Structure 1
């Protein structure tokens, strides 16, 4: 009994509340059940059916006692004189007593109500767990044994003689009946206790899941309301289903105004017909303020009820909004600052590049000015050298200015189809003129006989000139060959022209391959650092890319990949 009491006391307040509620229901069921039983038996007796029942006055007295006890039980239940499970055990013991009294008064072993003894056992297994059910099963078994013993001793009511009562034929028959009912009581206690145990485990897990769900719901709501990004969801019919505080602040619409409205009607500037991704639009808030909104949307995997007329499934959407007006203003300021910094750096680079050529030109001019009265004193070699210095440095200054303008103010792409082979011939022919005599190296052409290229012919020429200048400078006179190769290839279903400038110079170190495209970065003392920057700028404008590579024969390979448009049908 102590172990049973310990088990009963080891309950949570929530379990006590549930047990108290179940006990109230059980008391109500007790009253209804006994009332119906006596009403039905009385009705059948009046119809002439042979039943074993006490006198009507005794039945009425029994019912009054039962009602009084039930009312008193409910009143004492609220007083909490003992633990709720101890109180439940007491109530079920009294139920066993009332049912046993009913069985004794209606025929003992021949009673039609003997099966009712199993009800308190089942109720105990559900309300008091397995141990409580076994306890009530034992009480019920002893009570039924007492009824059978009284019957064997012939201590039975006198009115049995006037009823179709059949006494037991032998003690063995009573023992057999006791064994069957006793086994039935304990089996019911075990099964109901097992069911109640599983039910309690399920309730505990369900309660834990509900708590976690509530916690996650609160966390989700807190994040949804406090996040700085506006979040809007729409159902399959484009009606707004949620609208967080950031969306209210960005759009100027209140949540009560937005919920239930068609998204396209409330926010017509935001188009959700485009592909998923980041988009930007101008937006006028409800109070008239004009802002820039960055938005994106994606589909939610929510169940839908029907498809559109085009047989496309209608889907839920989640839209995210951000006011990017301040960000764009800051980006513009950063770009302006970067532009001014680039202009400053470019000006410093140009000034530095002009200083040396101007010094050389000035020195040569001063010598010529000194001998202007009698130029015959200058030998032809010296005169030619001075004129060559002036021409070379003037060309260098002109190239610096050209690179500066090309990088600072790139021309618009005028794309067309042209014969790449013929253009290469023109570039190489021009390089053989006297102007480029000092920096022209041996260039080997490896171009397909018929190669059509798509792009701006003039700008592609500029790219080839820049790369050939670098390659010839790197190879140096009589130190190696320079190869210009080109062919058409197809990669990932995209046709493109591949152009390679290869040289046998010292190559570009791995740590400098990312830096060579940065404006003003140069490893040569006479370089402007704009050549490869201009190359990358032009190729990127054509939608292509520049790669730097090397192999066993050539220390440096500059590879240009220019995409070709798909053929027209």
Structure 2
């Protein structure tokens, strides 16, 4: 058996069977060592001139050989995982009692100096086996010792006693007295060993339960410490990092092993770890890659006992620091505040815009009446011509203001969805006819459709028409700038995010959109055109998102122009659930 296996065999077990097997193994080892040591010491003393009764060397060697062979054989059986360990242990205890009886019977019987060896199986039985183990061993030892004394009194003794200092007993009362003393001693030790073994077992069970609870608590602590998203750092009295969890390593960008031993202020110079301020503090942390991260940290004291291996003062003033990345949280808070502000402004603006509609309608109606009157007056008078010109200006600007108010109310107060199935090609053709009748798009403008016949779309028909109107007006305005036609409207059914969807793309050959404004073109009130409210693409995006879709600006195939694609998901079919 090598050293590692030997140490493993001596390691305490939680399992009762394994523990008993370990105890029996110890019993076999102690038996060999004890008998060998006792006989060796006796031989040494005898050679020194001490008058000690000892069997002839051949008998002694034979006895030791039997002990060795029997113990080795028992150990071999023990390695085979025998089923009845308690019965095997009792056999070993009775064997020890028999070996003790042979040793005592061969070294002087009642005059033997090895009589206390009977105590060994008694103690071993009380500690290793059940509560009756010590008593069984005590009873066996008493019976065997009584048999030795009876044989001695009757004269059945070894012949080599004649060559020793052995004196035969003449009084049975003295033998009875010796037997009584040792018998009571055996049973007393058996009872005490049983009592001690019971207390040891109770203590061991309590310790085992405590160990299991501590192990579970330790695993829970480690799991929380490793998996929590908040960074946790412990520092000593000098604010040097003693441990940190993976979350803190991720926040800082350093490896956990590289952080241990560093001063916490070297990682976060703005940290305030003072007694007067233990509230949550927000600071900027520079990560390993140089990027700045907004974090919030707080700390608390750890009342740890002093480390006996450290003589430096202040090691008990440890702290635990929690560090949390709040950059995203602060960004969300800013967005929420901005959204609330915009919502309030939007409500107020929508109310004002709604109130503007009535006077604009009155102005537009009055201007239309004046236009009809001036149309009947064909006088070349300069005043009449000026009146007609001013009336046309009033009508044009009133229409533009009416459109701006309509777009603003559409953006500020989006209507509820009423989705239905409709033919997308037919709706697009209707929208093209409406757009061609407006000032922004000449009647001769060329628009091409690339939409399959009977391509049905599931959406709010009116909102999709508004969406197409804004896209076509923007594309027509871009095409007018460069006089490059046609404007292409293409639609297909494809897969988007694992679902069937209708993709609508409006492609023009205009000057395109500068790359530096790609991120802001869908922002409300942003426009590159004069006399434009900048709500067209914002409304397009809003309508697409109302339908759980999206709108994307894509690169044109030829490198010129603009491609705006809207994706509108279709409802899932029953077999897709």
- Same fold, TM-score > 0.5, yes or no: yes
Q: Is 2:156 aligned against 1:160?
A: no
Aligned residue number for residue 275 of structure 1:
277
- The 3-state SS of whatever aligns with 2:324 is strand
**Maintained 8 Å contact 2:14/2:208:** no
- Over 3 Å counting, the alpha-carbon distance change for 1:260 and 1:179 in structure 2 is same
Report the more deviating stretch, 111-120 or 25-34.
25-34
Q: Following superposition of structure 1 onto structure 2, how do residues 50-69 of structure 1 map, counting pairs within 5 Å?
A: 50-69=51-70
Q: Secondary structure at the match of 2:113?
A: coil
Q: CA deviation at 1:82?
A: 4.3
Cα distance in 1 for partners of 2:101, 2:266 equals 75
Any conservation in 2 of the 1:304–1:315 contact (CA below 8 Å)?
Answer: no
Report Cα offsets for 1:450-501 as digits up to 9, x if no partner: xxxxxxxxxxxxxxxxxxxxxxxxxxxxxxxxxxxxxxxxxxxxxxxxxxxx
Tell me how far 1:313 sits from its aligned partner. Answer: 7.9
The one-character-per-residue Cα deviations of 1:56-107 (angstroms, maximum 9, x if unpaired) are 2211221122211122121122124442221111111111111101111111
- Decide whether the 8 Å contact of 2:303 with 2:316 is kept in 1: no
User: Cα distance, 1:163 vs. partner?
Assistant: 2.1
Cα distance between partner residues in 1 of 2:177 and 2:323: 81
Write the distance in 1 (CA, Å) between the matches of 2:169 and 2:264: 84
CA shift digits 1:414-446 (9 cap, x unpaired): xxxxxxxxxxxxxxxxxxxxxxxxxxxxxxxxx
For residue 370 of structure 2, what is the aligned residue in structure 1? none
SS in 2 for 1:281: strand
Task: Report the counterpart of residue 291 of structure 2 in structure 1.
Answer: 289
Query: After superposition, where does 1:29-44 map in structure 2 within 5 Å?
Result: 29-44=30-45
Aligned partner of 1:260 in structure 2 is 261
Q: CA deviation at 1:348?
A: 10
Alignment check: 8 A CA contact 1:110 1:167 kept: no
| Deviation of 1:341 (Å) | 5.2
Whole-Å separation in 1 of the counterparts to 2:349 and 2:216: 62
- Distance change in 2, residues 1:113/1:208 (3 Å): same
What is the CA distance between 1:343 and its match in structure 2? 5.8
Residue 246 of structure 2 corresponds to: 245
Q: In structure 2, what is the equivalent of residue 298 of structure 1? A: 300
CA contact (8 A) 2:86 2:129 kept: yes
Match status 1:232 vs 2:210: no
Contact 2:126 2:135 in 1 (8 A): yes
Change (3 A) 1:48 1:282: closer
Q: Residue 350 and residue 214 in structure 1: after superposition, are their counterparts in 2 closer, same or farther (change >3 A)?
A: same
CA displacement at 1:117 relative to structure 2:
0.7
Q: Distance in 2 between matches of 1:237 and 1:40?
A: 61
Equivalent position to 1:316, from 288, 303, 318: 318
- Supply the distance in 1 between the matched residues of 2:306 and 2:36 (Cα, whole angstroms): 53
Off by >4 Å, runs of 4+ in structure 1? 311-314, 340-351
Whole-angstrom CA distance in 1 between matches of 2:225 and 2:44: 66
What is aligned with 2:329? 327
What is the correspondence of 1:145-544 to structure 2 with a 5 Å cutoff?
Answer: 145-273=146-274, 275-304=277-306, 315-340=317-342
Structure 1: runs of 5+ lacking an equivalent: 1-11, 352-569
Q: Within the alignment, does 1:17 sit opposite 2:18 as a pair?
A: yes
Q: 1:312 to 1:127 in 2, by over 3 A?
A: closer
**How many pairs were matched up?**
337
Q: Residues 214 and 314 from structure 1, CA distance in 2 versus in 1: closer, same or farther, beyond 3 angstroms?
A: closer
Contact 2:97 2:118 (C-alpha < 8 Å) held by counterparts:
yes
Contact 1:234 1:318 in 2 (8 A): yes
8 A Cα contact 1:280 1:294, kept in partner: yes
CA contact (8 A) 2:122 2:186 kept: yes
- Cα displacement string for residues 113-133 of structure 1 (whole angstroms, at most 9, x for unaligned residues): 111111110011011132111
Give me the TM-score of the superposition, normalised by structure 2. 0.55
**RMSD over aligned Cα, in angstroms?**
2.7
Q: Distance in 1 between matches of 2:316 and 2:158?
A: 79
Residue 108 of structure 1 deviates from its aligned partner by 0.9
Secondary structure at 1:233 match in 2: strand
Could you list the runs of 5+ residues in structure 2 that have no partner in the other structure?
A: 1-12, 354-577
- 8 Å CA contact 1:130, 1:189 repeated in 2: no
Deviation at 1:340, TM superposition (A): 4.5
TM-score by length of 1: 0.55
Q: Give how far 1:109 is off.
A: 0.9
Q: Structure 1 residues 48 and 288 mapped into 2: Cα distance closer, same or farther (>3 Å)?
A: closer
